[in-house]
Each structure stands twice: as C-alpha cells, then as structure tokens.
Amino acid sequence: MKQLQMVDLKSQYQRIKPEIDAAIQGVIDSCQFVKGGEVKTFEAELAQYLGVKHVIGCGNGTDALQVALMALGLKPGDEVITTNFTFIATVEVIALLGLTPVLVDVDEQTFNIDIEAVKQAITPRTKAIVPVHLFGQCANMEPLLQLAEKHGLYVVEDTAQGLGAEYRFSNGSVRKAGTMGTIGCTSFFPSKNLGCYGDGGALFTNDDQLAEQIRSLTNHGMKVRYHHDMIGVNSRLDTIQAAILRVKLPHLDEYNRARQSAAEKYNAALAGIDGLETPVTASFSTHIFHQYTLKVKNGQRDALKQHLDNEKIPCMIYYPIPLHAQKAFEPYVSENQQFTVSEKLCGEVLSLPMHTELDDEQIGFITSAIRKFFV
C-alpha cells in the first residue's frame, strides 16, 4: 500500500511534473520574480473561474484577511464578528489591527458560524462579519448577507478552506465561495485545495474602488511608484507561485471531485457505527472536503486517535481548543458568553487523511481500522 499521509503533495506533483517544472523554469528564465506577468494572468484566470470582477494576489491567506480589513477602513474599537471555531489567522488579524474580535458559536452540523449567534452579537459598534467556509463547505451566506445588509455591515469571507465550493441561494442562483460578500480572501498554502509550493494568497471583490485600494495596500500603499497615499504592507504573490497556480487551477474542479469521491467512500464504509458521525453536507452548499472530519461521541475521540496512532494511520484534531479559550484572546471574551457547541466539538472532532491521491486500498485500510475500534 502507498504510504498513508494526511496530505500527499508528492503524488499529486508527480502527475503534473513536466508542466510544473517548465512553469518554474520559465519564471527563472524571465527573472521577473516579483510582479511578473504570470501574476496578472493568474489573477485574471482565477477571476474568470470564480465569476468575480477582481482578484488580487498577496503573500498568504493571513495577509489577505488583514489587507481586507485595512481596505475597509475600520478603526480601533470597531467590532468584527467571527466564528469561535476556526484557524487562528481569522481572528488574529482582527486583534492585530486594533479592532475588537467578537467571537460567536457555531452550528453543530456544519461547524460553520451560527447565524442566530451573529444576530445576537450585533451592536452599534459592529462593522463587519467574517464567516469562514470551514473544512470546505460554505457558511450559510443568504441569511448572513441579509443580516449584514439590514445593519450596514461589511462581509469578509475567509475562503482559505473553501476555494471552489458553491453556495445555492433560495432563488436557485449559485455563487462560488468568496464572491458573495464585500471581499473574499483565500490561501494557497500547499495543503489547501488549490495549493502552491510555498506561501501565497489572494483577495476577491466585485468593487472597483476596493480592488484598487487592495492592490495599493499590498504594495506599500503605492498607486504611483514612490508616492504613498496610505500605510500599506509588502504582501505580493511571487511570480513562481503564480506560474505554479496557473498549472494547477485548471485541475481544481477535478481535485475537488477526487476529494468528494474519497469522502463518499469514507461515508459508505463508516456508515451505521454507533458513536461515530460522518460529515454532514448542508443543503445550501457543495462540500469540497478540505478536511474530512468525524465527530466521535461518548468521550471516545482520544481513544480512537490513540488507536489510529498505534496503527500508523495519520489523523488530526482540527481544532483542539476553541478560540475563546486561547490565552491570547482572553481580553476579548466576557464571562457571560456561551460557546457550548464549539467547546463540545473540540472534544469530538477527528480529521482523517484527505487529499486528491487517496486510493481504495488506503481508504479500506483506514476505515477497517476504525471499525475494529468500535467492535
């Protein structure tokens, strides 16, 4: 059997090696390492794929989130509502900019931000909501966008785990994750659904003025060279990474289908086990399985993880600690806030290997080891 890994980047690379190697060599030959032509072309191609007007590359997904909040002109003391169950980057940048992160609990089925909890967290100081399309499926955007509209709030979508997922509105229209709010942000970290070979990220928007602002912010606040109209950052997508992403983007849908197919096989093989819940796909979104995350009931998660560790089967806990319980975020949490769902999930979640190269033999091996644990 091929060696089990959480993510198998090497096998994926082997299948597209000649194109990738040529793309990298092309950039080296051009010596246009920063702001080369491949970056503009990739931005246009991704914009076309997403059905959004502007895509602006940047250094990584965390920077994308930071620049999005900077572009909206938020001021210290402004409140930004986000989920209590996500990767730290989402909330880190809010605090870093002197804004006030307001954490809210999540929906138990989808792991995504609870719209009712968002509603209750809105105050006169609220300026933006940052939903995360966690593990590869969209947060429930329609009611969230309605709330944002009603209260005049910006929506910044964290699409780092959801690139290519689609949301279905009640009128039947379908939109790609990251293109529904004011600004969408993504990451091309190697293990994401569209990963490059280092760090990379991007922002998306349909707003011409915001796009110009974002482009300038990622390049030291410059529009005209050496004229700085605002305080910016240095956060650009490297040309080599853009060239790699241009090779991989045409494969994104096929990669996401491979993940869905692996998830279906996991679901079938793990069906009907008492005390084990396979991932739920919401009616309003496709699921592109950035992670395949089980819920292990009855306090058995750590024992199952130990069992898989013993069998040399990789598995991970995303995420072990809800954000409100992280030391760094103590100042932003008040005593009367309740996070019962995310607290419970942190004790139940277990993510299995998930990538584009999983084969039937590997899935069979992993799922029979899990079945053995429950007999």
User: Site residues (CB under 6 A) for ligand PLP?
Assistant: 60-62, 86-87, 89-90, 132, 158, 160-161, 187, 189, 199, 201
CB nearer ligand PLP, residue 188 or residue 266: 188
> Cβ of residue 93: shortest distance to ligand PLP, in angstroms?
9
> Cβ of residue 236: shortest distance to ligand PLP, in angstroms?
14
CB nearer ligand PLP, residue 86 or residue 137: 86
CB nearer ligand PLP, residue 20 or residue 130: 130
CB nearer ligand PLP, residue 156 or residue 294: 156
Name residue, tokens 């965390």: 62
> Cβ of residue 101: shortest distance to ligand PLP, in angstroms?
14
Let me know if 290 is exposed, middle or buried by CB neighbors in 10 A (0-12, 13-18, 19+): buried
> Cβ of residue 161: shortest distance to ligand PLP, in angstroms?
5
CB nearer ligand PLP, residue 86 or residue 239: 86
> Cβ of residue 335: shortest distance to ligand PLP, in angstroms?
27
3-class SS string, the chain: CCCCCCCCHHHHHHHHHHHHHHHHHHHHHHCCCCCCHHHHHHHHHHHHHHCCCEEEEECCHHHHHHHHHHHCCCCCCCEEEEECCCCCHHHHHHHHCCCEEEEECECCCCCCECHHHHHHHCCCCEEEEECECHHHECCCHHHHHHHHHHHCCEEEEECCCCCCCEEECCCCCEEECCCCCCEEEEECCCCCCCCCCCCCEEEEECCHHHHHHHHHHCECCECCCCCECCCCCECCCCHHHHHHHHHHHHHHHHHHHHHHHHHHHHHHHCCCCCCEECCCCCCCECECCCCEEEEECCCCHHHHHHHHHHCCCCCECCCCCCHHHCHHHHHHCCCCCCCHHHHHHHCCEEEECCCCCCCHHHHHHHHHHHHHHHC
d(CA 221, CA 233): 7
CB nearer ligand PLP, residue 62 or residue 342: 62
> Cβ of residue 76: shortest distance to ligand PLP, in angstroms?
22
> Cβ of residue 86: shortest distance to ligand PLP, in angstroms?
5
CB nearer ligand PLP, residue 50 or residue 270: 50
CB nearer ligand PLP, residue 329 or residue 373: 329
d(CA 45, CA 222): 24
Nearest residue to ligand PLP, by Cβ distance, number only:
61
Torsions phi, psi for 177 (to 5 deg): -55, 135
Q: Which residues of 7-37 are buried (b: 16+ CB within 10 A; e: fewer)?
A: bbeeebeeeeeebbeebbeebeeeeeeeebe
CB nearer ligand PLP, residue 322 or residue 373: 322
> Cβ of residue 340: shortest distance to ligand PLP, in angstroms?
22
Residue 97 CB coordination number (10 Å): 18
> Cβ of residue 174: shortest distance to ligand PLP, in angstroms?
22
> Cβ of residue 338: shortest distance to ligand PLP, in angstroms?
23
CB nearer ligand PLP, residue 36 or residue 59: 59
